[in-house]
Structure 1
Amino acid sequence: MNLRGLVSVTGKPGLFKLIGQNKGGFVLETLDASKLKSVVNLSTTKMATLEDITIYGEDEEIRLLDIFEKIKTDNVETPDVKADGATLRNFFREVAPNHDEERVYSSDIKKIITWYNIIKELPLFDEEAPAPLV
């Protein structure tokens, strides 16, 4: 799974692809059909790559990419984001069994399901991640 360059921007719904940088900040493109481009100034906006996002775990943090990989490889069906809290929690117990249930909220689970549904059709989803630079 190669999700390098995909980011979440605080205060903006959905996911974005990092396509460049200019004097004003980073140039992002939406992942939906509209392919709208925008510039994000890092001094006023927080941005996180999907590779860096982790979920609270009981013992240690769980990488978001590991959760996505489990959903993909185990062919787990994602519930509707409007499902009740118990359905969402049961799904998350299956894909992230050691998550901290007190600190991972239904809204977090909904966001992860939404993100998964956005990226599962992308070619990057089936690519191998490039080796880290040493």
Structure 2
Amino acid sequence: MNLRGIVAVSGRPGLFKLVGQNKAGYVLEGLDAQKVKIVANISNTKLASLEDITIYGEDEDLKLIDVLANLAAVKGDVPDAKADAAVLKKLFLEVAPSHDQEKVYASDMKKIVTWYHLLKDLPLFTEEAPGAEVAADGGKVEEKTEKKVKATPKPSNAKAPSKTAQPAKKASMTSKKGV
């Protein structure tokens, strides 16, 4: 699942794709059918990348990406976000069994289910995250952080620096007045 560049904006419903950045803020495009473009002010708008969001767990926090993948693997239909809180709690016991039931509210569950329904039809939901390798048995291998640097040849019209060239002498910053 590739959620790179998908963000939630504080105070706005839905999810947005980060398109770019300018002096005024971040340029975002809505993932809904309207494809609204907005500029989120850098100084007073909070953006949360879906890759970085975690859910409270009993032992350790759960990554949102893992919970969304578990929602995709649910047998049967995932209920609508407007479903009863008891139905959502039962669903979350299935997809995130180690979530902290006291800290994860029904409103959080509704938001995650809403995000799932927005993302499930997009191609990025089924593609692999960039930098992730897949093992031969189909399991995910840890992401590689090592980057190979490829040497690029110099253009033929570039002039090589002369070995005999001397650096220019720096001018003195102090002025001499009559003594």
* Normalised-by-shorter TM-score class: over 0.9
Deviates more, 1:107-116 or 1:37-46: 37-46
Could you tell me how far apart the structure 1 residues matched to 2:125 and 2:5 are? 12
Could you tell me how far apart the structure 2 residues matched to 1:117 and 1:74 are? 13
Could you tell me how far apart the structure 2 residues matched to 1:76 and 1:98 are? 21
Q: Secondary structure at the match of 1:32?
A: coil
Could you tell me how far apart the structure 1 residues matched to 2:76 and 2:95 are? 8
When Rg is computed on C-alpha atoms for both structures, the one with the higher figure is 2
Q: Tell me: CA distance 1:76–1:103, structure 2 relative to 1, closer, same or farther (3 Å).
A: farther
CA contact (8 A) 1:71 1:77 kept: no
Could you tell me how far apart the structure 2 residues matched to 1:79 and 1:115 are? 12
Deviates more, 1:36-45 or 1:16-25: 36-45
CA contact (8 A) 1:3 1:129 kept: yes
Q: Tell me: CA distance 1:97–1:124, structure 2 relative to 1, closer, same or farther (3 Å).
A: same
- In the alignment, which residue of structure 2 is the partner of 1:6? 6
Residue segments in structure 1 that go unaligned for 5+ positions in a row: none
Q: Structure 1 counterpart of 2:122, which letter?
A: L
Summarize deviations over 1:90-113 as a string: whole Å, max 9, x none. 000000000000000000000000
1:105-120 map, 5 Å: 105-120=105-120
1:1-134 map, 5 Å: 1-75=1-75, 77-131=77-131, 133-134=145-146
Could you tell me how far apart the structure 2 residues matched to 1:28 and 1:87 are? 33
Could you tell me how far apart the structure 1 residues matched to 2:93 and 2:20 are? 37
Q: How far did residue 75 of structure 1 move?
A: 4.1
Could you tell me how far apart the structure 1 residues matched to 2:42 and 2:109 are? 26
- TM-score normalised by length of structure 1: 0.95
Q: How far did residue 76 of structure 1 move?
A: 5.3
Q: How far did residue 42 of structure 1 move?
A: 2.4
Q: State the Cα RMSD in Å.
A: 1.2
Aligned residue pairs: how many?
Answer: 134
Summarize deviations over 1:24-58 as a string: whole Å, max 9, x none. 11100001121111111121011011000000000
